[in-house]
Amino acid sequence: MAIVRELYIYPVKSARAIPKTSVRLGATGFEWDRHWMAASPAGVFMSQRTQPRLALIEPEIGADQITLRAPGLNALGLPLQPDGQTLSAKIWNDSITALDQGDTAAEWLSQALGTPARLLRLSQVLDRHANPAFAGTNPVPMSFADGFPILVCNVASLAHLNTRMPAPVPMERFRPNIVLDGLEAFAEDRIAALQVNNVTLRLVKPCTRCVITSTDQRTGEPSTNPLPVLREFRFDRSLLGVAFGENAVITAGAGDRIERGATCSVVFESD
């Protein structure tokens, strides 16, 4: 058994997290998670890897609109209802149908980031899917997330990492959707599935980490980098990267909710 210690959504890809006490699962993961993203004028996604100022953008989901705030700018409000000019955007090697949120949003985002940018919205045409080599043969629709619908991390794993670090790093650096407690460090490596009431998540692939883990999520500035330490004991030769956390897909319970503090049944790969 494990406990759901924290829940997070990231409405704008690479922007500030919103902690939640309860989340609904939709077709692409947590409701509103990565439904908006910054992109170059050519439609290529942006993230904190190259635009760390995305960490300064604070989203708020209201009854009928999303509000974005950034230092030195008036708040930007946009309807939750999908709307905008349809275009093809690029996330890594994937193409995805997106909706451009217009020139006012683009000007606001460009000022927030200090570089020309467009704000894109997830279309109702879900034409991008998680890698079937890990997610399985049944198509898993994706939002603007990097590769999988949900990221699961473990409190004990971070505690173990921090015993090796010159200065501790917070969990927010790893940008999880679900944070589990009550497990041994790195027990998530061996989890096949999690069940929370009617929701079943299958853990399908270790999450290889990038330079975003060295960015202070409150300031957008470089900070303590955990990657060199992780490389010493968490290098995955098959994935050619350092792993922390597990990517997950939804196998049951879309439309249901997960509550913070809920108890999870854990099925390990050897069970």
Give the span between the Cα atoms of 269 and 13, in whole angstroms: 31
CA distances from 54 to 192, 218, 256 (A): 33, 10, 30
CB 11 within 8 A of CB 35: yes
CB atoms within 10 A of CB 238: 7
- pLDDT above 90 covers a percentage of the chain that reads 99
What ranges do the domains of the chain cover? 2-29+138-268, 31-122
pLDDT at 135: 97
CATH code for residues 2-29+138-268: 2.40.33.20
Within 10-129, where are the H helices?
103-113
Give the span between the Cα atoms of 124 and 226, in whole angstroms: 37
pLDDT of 271 strictly over 80: no
Per-residue pLDDT tens digits for 115-161: 999 999 999 999 999 999 999 999 999 999 999 999 999 999 999 99
Both tokens assigned to 121: 């919205």
3-state secondary structure 167-190: CCCCHHHHCCCEEEECCCCCHHHH
Q: Work out the burial of residue 102: count CB atoms within 10 Å of its CB; fewer than 13 is exposed, 13-18 middle, 19 or more buried.
A: middle
Per-residue pLDDT tens digits for 234-246: 999 999 999 999 9
For residue 30, report the phi and psi dihedrals to the nearest 5 degrees: -65, 145
pLDDT at 270: 79
